[in-house]
Amino acid sequence: MKPFPQIPQNVARELAKIPCLTFRWSRSTTRHGACKTLINRLTGEITQITLELSSVTFPHWDPATQREIIIHEAAHALMSYHFDPFEAHSALWFTTARFLGALDPRVSIKSEGQVAHALEVTRHPHLGRCPQGCEIALRAMAKRTYRCRAHREVLTITRRSNGTPLASSSK
């Protein structure tokens, strides 16, 4: 198993205060990181907080983006431990992420240049393209019309290996 990436010092100091924190790699192709909290149903106590990074997508990002992903998930871990495990992207979480050094705490990695790069990492055989330029990786071709979530435009589906169009509809 590959070693976990270098965590910024100020983030590591804060994370060291969480006794039930663990780190692990996941095989996720749809998210770059996650923070999972286990709570004892009887006592309501937090038994474990796991910080996960995708071994599939994470290594392909530049170091600055990797740092942002780590800080993003670390902010979730701190929120879970000190405040409320269910407080996802609230104002308090945003402030915590800024405190840890996040440049853009919202980091969903959805800027146009980065989405295309993230899609190249996945091994989906089909690719849907919106007339506006968006790209969406597809595992299988279903018998339906695919639309871009951002622009609601009909996608042109191509096979990744040769790039030939497979389907396009004009509704």
Q: Per-residue pLDDT tens for 138-161?
A: 766 666 777 877 778 888 887 765
Q: What is the CATH number of the domain that holds 38?
A: 3.30.2010.10
- The average pLDDT across 104-117 equals 44
Cα distances (Å, whole numbers) of residue 154 to 49, 72, 113, 133, 159: 41, 33, 21, 12, 16
Query: Same domain, yes or no, for 89 and 148?
Result: no
Residue 130: both structure tokens together: 């919106």
Residue 39: both structure tokens together: 């709570």
Note the pLDDT of residue 105: 63
Between CA 26 and CA 51 the distance in angstroms is 10
Query: Same domain, yes or no, for 33 and 81?
Result: yes
Instruction: Among 42-51, 97-106, 123-132, name the one with the lowest average pLDDT.
Output: 123-132
Instruction: Among 38-47, 65-74, 111-120, name the one with the lowest average pLDDT.
Output: 111-120
Note the pLDDT of residue 86: 74
In a domain, 54, yes or no: yes
- The dihedrals phi and psi of 146, each to the nearest 5 degrees, come to -95, 140
The beta strands (E) that lie in 72-150 are given as 126-129, 135-138
> Residues 6 or more apart from 28 whose CB is under 8 A from it?
34, 52, 54, 56, 57
Q: Decide which of 104 and 30 is more confident.
A: 30
The label of the residue with tokens 């089909």 reads 126
Count up the domains in the chain and report the number.
Answer: 2
Instruction: Among 1-5, 6-10, 112-116, 166-170, name the one with the lowest average pLDDT.
Output: 112-116
pLDDT tens for each residue of 62-92: 888 888 888 889 998 998 888 887 777 788 8
Query: Same domain, yes or no, for 79 and 47?
Result: yes
In a domain, 114, yes or no: no
Supply the pTM of this predicted model.
Answer: 0.60
What is the residue-averaged pLDDT of the chain?
75
Q: 156 lies in which domain range?
A: 124-167
Q: Is the pLDDT of residue 1 over 70?
A: no
In a domain, 116, yes or no: no
Q: Is the pLDDT of residue 109 over 60?
A: no
Beta bridge partners of 24: 52
Direct distance between the N- and C-terminal alpha carbons of the chain, in angstroms, rounded to an integer: 48
In a domain, 79, yes or no: yes
The label of the residue with tokens 């006794």 reads 19
The beta strands (E) that lie in 14-153 are given as 21-26, 33-39, 46-54, 126-129, 135-138
Beta bridge partners of 129: 135, 156
Radius of gyration for the alpha carbons in the chain, expressed in angstroms and rounded = 19
